[in-house]
Amino acid sequence: MQQAIAILDSGVGGLTVVKEVMRQLPQEKIIYFGDTARTPYGPRTSEEVVQFTRQIVDYLVQFQPKMIVIACNTATAVALEDIRSRVNVPVVGVIHPGARAAIKATQTGVVGVIGTDGTIRSGAYLNALKQISPAIQVVSRSCPDFVPMVEKGLFRSPETHKVVEKSLEGLSFPPMDCLILGCTHYPFLADTIGEVMGPNVSLISSADETAREISTILYQTNHLARSHETPIHQFFCSGEPAMFRHIAQDWLGEQIMLQPVVWQSPSIT
């Protein structure tokens, strides 16, 4: 049996990572968990996010994945090291891949980052960028309206443009040449964000970059899929499955095998 890549998120945002893994690594089997019952994670405390992430990982390890991908920037910011210390397979977050891509892309040395309150408050992108390249200048902004909009499937509504425009107003000064979409939900809004930021700012999707680094690490640890059979992916969500199915099938362009999961302990929902 082929070992899967386990990918988790607070909701549907991690599907942007799933889509890129399906495109860049078409032979890899994916198991996905969207914690739609408790989305969004952005406004929650670090303790809650760590606890929720642990619970999802505990659920996913029953499938013996070969890698765990925390496809949620908020959870990566606060729980990556904790999860790394708890499992014995590679754990990949979505913050460093975007940071490295920005360092590679920028010519001006000014990098923008947008994310949830939790991600921006944690300073995780700033730290990741400065750890590698201390001279880089970072302009950060939280965009708390974006995730609820995407989780409701409103990423092509007429109001989206207004909300995005208002959220990003004045962000491009000082003049940055790339902007990290520091939340896996944001690629759903990439077209609109691109229009608002203009052609001189290239968008860096933490989803696309994470898929690329998953490929790097699977290769380096000798864990790339050897099977040439088409993998059958599995999806789980903790909330109402209809909306999840609708968004997932629309975004991925194919039918999905979806199973709802009901958290047993009401204290942590």
Give binding residues as ranges: 9-10, 41-42, 73-74, 184-185
Give the DSSP per-residue string, 43-94: TS-HHHHHHHHHHHHHHHGGG--SEEEE--HHHHHHHHHHHHHH-SS-EEES
Q: How far is the CB of 200 from its own copies (least distance, A)?
A: 18
Which range touches its own copies (CB under 8 A), out of 57-65, 130-138, 139-147, 167-175? 130-138
Which phi and psi angles does 136 have, rounded to 5°?
A: -70, 145
In angstroms, the Cα distances linking 247 to 11, 62, 132, 268 are 10, 26, 36, 25
Q: Which is nearer to its own copies, 73 or 172 (CB)?
A: 73
Q: Which is nearer to its own copies, 100 or 185 (CB)?
A: 100
Residue 227 binding its own copies, by CB under 8 A: no
Known binding positions for substrate: 9-10, 41-42, 73-74, 184-185
DSSP state of 225: -
Q: How far is the CB of 61 from its own copies (least distance, A)?
A: 20
Q: Residues binding its own copies: what is the number (CB under 8 A)?
A: 28
Residue 212 binding its own copies, by CB under 8 A: yes
Residue 97 binding its own copies, by CB under 8 A: yes
List the one residue from 64, 108, 131, 249 that touches its own copies (CB under 8 A). Answer: 131
72 tagged catalytic: yes
Q: Which two tokens stand for residue 10?
A: 């607070």
Length of the chain: 269
Q: Which is nearer to its own copies, 27 or 45 (CB)?
A: 27
Close Cβ partners of 60 (under 8 Å, ≥ 6 residues apart): 6, 8, 31, 33, 68
- Which among 23, 53, 49, 3 is positioned nearest to 234, based on CA atoms? 3
Residue 224 binding its own copies, by CB under 8 A: yes
237 tagged catalytic: no
Q: Which residues are catalytic?
A: 72, 183
